[in-house]
Structure 1
């Protein structure tokens, strides 16, 4: 296998035992280290300990990431890996990473992580990295294993690398699993005000009334400011702002006067030359950020 890496190579490995994972992951990383690649391992603390032992002296050249801290929500996970990869690529011209993908016990969240794996292909397409996502085939349900083939262009099997004939483009995956969005009826109009400062004052007042913790309020203010700036710049101005509590979360809806856009990847693409970072930042700071055409105009719905 060539070690020349000029753009993202996103592969998957479904393993049947920890021993198989260790042997194949260690060989994958060592091949890169021999040619000067950076190296990253993302796993649980127990998995990291096993990999350190298996790599021996080579472990000193590897960056280890605790997935318990990284896998909180897709946008946060993408940002965490982007920071790690960017740091490695400041030191080496290319890198290899092995990431053990975490799917929680709640089937209601599985689509979120399928979306994450799909978005990964586009978000990091510009990076000279070979990323091997690993899955424990002995414990994961068929629904997740099926998603492996839909979100990775190449899957490693006992017979070698195999091109997936089930692979779907990221936007196709996101459209297929998306839940239709609509305005939240619990929210009330607070308007935008004269400028961004008054907008933040009004939003802060609503969060104070809702009992939102100060730290989380700051996250919403920063995220909403980025979204509002995008609406003013690209959406023809803001028609209305609605805010309040909904389903145990604080929510803010920003309605603009523009035609809107149809891009399920909006805010998921890591910053790069020629692209802005406003929506990328907003997604990291909040629980969810959705865009849809509502009765009053194109709407950005932010949940904290």
Structure 2
């Protein structure tokens, strides 16, 4: 992990894996520094000597030669005696001193403040660095805020943070294992920003990954700043992180307003299918439909993928309330759904009373995509049902088989023609439709040997390295491989947080696609709409984004509940 400067006074949150604490101490011993550590009367805190022994450090020898020395914990609250111990170490010829502090012990708020001030003064007076380790599961949110306020530099395994002036520098990887630390540091920085300029910069130039949990921590940690009109500015993201931020920012709240004033209220939702043979039939329905909306203060969205959208746009002519959306036929279905949602929300935020949509439907590039595009049409009815949206999906009967058109009919509540609009008796509710067209299991690739097999995922960073290695040998373009690794990371993170261990991951590489399964031994879920939209859309700090992101980063996502386990399968085929 890329570092963010030398930490003189560092807070470390640790969990079951205490390796970083041991590494920090052993590095000091190797460079000739002296290490001072506290001994608590109750024996609380991690057993430092045991941790060093696990790393192969000869504790007996280090203690005998004076490189490792225990101090009574009470001494940490007596500035003269602690400083004397540091001066003695320097007089013994050690180039610097590493002080382990804050390990366990029950201190009052005032005692804690006194101790931290002593440590701050110490590392600014002598060539000394101070590490305050705390077990993350032992801290309340209030304690975490208090501790981060005293430490400008914080760390949790593969996440490192530093506060300076009006900036928080973030390096490494932000995921669910360290979201509490990120949230706590941002909350502390926000308090300072509100007292000054109400602007907080977050330098993420050294951030290699941000998961849904990391994004949630950013939202929660900065909520006070944003609610009071302040600004949170993300600075210099790496390309992969920038893509994730762009995707996540599609999920925005709808603001009030209207082209004639007043509040935009959810209107009638409509999702009609139009079956046509000629361009004249297409225009006879779609153009008057869109023009009526424009006359009533609604926005018109024309979707153009080089087929139906082009003649519709030409017939409408110029109008500032006509939004032209160019559709990439290779766009993943779930991401296309987010694009429509974002386009609708932007139009409503700009003052439109409603939105009407017509143009090119989502045409699958490959036969393997057909099931996912059917899922898109079904999910459209649920995700956009709360918006004042009316959409017409034109399907050319000369281009598609009767079987395909029969399937399309099942995803649209109404059928429209130039003469009438009627309820569709073949329509299936979204959940029923999604269940009917669910993918079979297993995928043929799953009968071959996997390129990656992990039987018990306990560390997401280790899993990510394994995925990167396995995908490097696939035929996927770099961006697709990055997206697939990120999607699997999100699903595995969900399994670790909400499922039951062991979490197992398998990845297969084929000549034209990659398939990955994530299995845990919990009950899972049985909602086919899971991941098509987020919860708490008007409150980004409470959004559940993991599965939502995963659907947008792979071509297909399926899940299979069983009596004793739950499996999610992700498929990508460029």
TM-score tier by shorter-chain length is 0.7 to 0.9
* 1:207–1:244 Cα contact (<8 Å) kept: no
1:70 CA displacement: 4.7
Q: Deviations over 1:113-139 (max 9, x none)?
A: 333212211122222211111122343
Per the alignment, residue 558 of structure 2 pairs with: 290
> 1:120 aligns to what?
380
- What is the SS of the residue equivalent to 2:273? strand
Is the Cα–Cα contact under 8 Å of residues 15 and 136 in structure 1 kept in the other structure? yes
Query: Which of 29, 33, 36 is 2:297 aligned to?
Result: 36
Are 2:434 and 1:174 equivalent residues in the alignment?
yes
**CA contact 2:302–2:323 (8 Å) conserved in 1:** yes
Structure 2 counterpart SS, 1:203 = helix
1:197 paired with 2:461, answer yes
Partner of 1:218: 482
CA shift digits 1:177-208 (9 cap, x unpaired): 22321372322422454422222122222223
Distance 1:117 1:211, change over 3 A: closer
Which residue number corresponds to residue 413 of structure 2?
A: 153
Q: Does 1:255 align with 2:494?
A: no
1:185-234: per-residue Cα shift (whole Å, max 9, x none)?
A: 32242245442222212222222344654322321221112111211222
Q: Which among 85, 88, 96 is matched to residue 344 of structure 2?
A: 85
Note if 1:133 corresponds to 2:393. Answer: yes
Of structures 1 and 2, the larger Rg is shown by 2
The reply on whether 1:245 has 2:493 as its aligned counterpart is no
3-state SS of 1:219 partner: helix
CA 242–220 in structure 1, closer or farther in 2 if over 3 Å, else same:
same
Cα distance in 1 between the residues matched to 2:455 and 2:378: 36
How far did residue 96 of structure 1 move?
0.7
Cα 1:155/1:301, change in 2 over 3 Å: same
Please say if 1:234 is aligned against 2:498: yes
Task: Determine the C-alpha separation between the residues in 2 that align with 1:63 and 1:235.
Answer: 43
CA 1:109–1:13 in 2, change beyond 3 Å: closer, same or farther? same
Residue 248 (structure 1) shift: 3.4
CA contact (8 A) 2:269 2:389 kept: yes
Unpaired runs of at least 5, structure 1: none
Structure 2 gaps of 5+ residues are: 1-264
So what's the TM-score if we normalise by structure 1? 0.86
Q: 1:103 to 1:243 in 2, by over 3 A?
A: closer
* Higher deviation after alignment, 246-255 or 98-107: 98-107
**2:298/2:353 contact within 8 Å kept:** yes
Report the alpha carbon displacement of residue 62 of structure 1 after superposing the two structures with TM: 0.9
State how far apart, in whole Å, the 1-side matches of 2:281 and 2:534 are.
32
Alignment length, in residue pairs? 299
How far apart, CA to CA, are the structure 2 residues paired with 1:81 and 1:8? 14
Give me the whole-angstrom Cα distance separating, in 1, the residues matched to 2:486 and 2:291.
42
Question: What is the RMSD of the two structures over their aligned residues, measured on CA atoms?
Answer: 2.7
Could you tell me how far 1:71 is from its partner in structure 2? 5.5
Q: Residues of 1 paired with 2:480 and 2:364: CA distance? A: 24
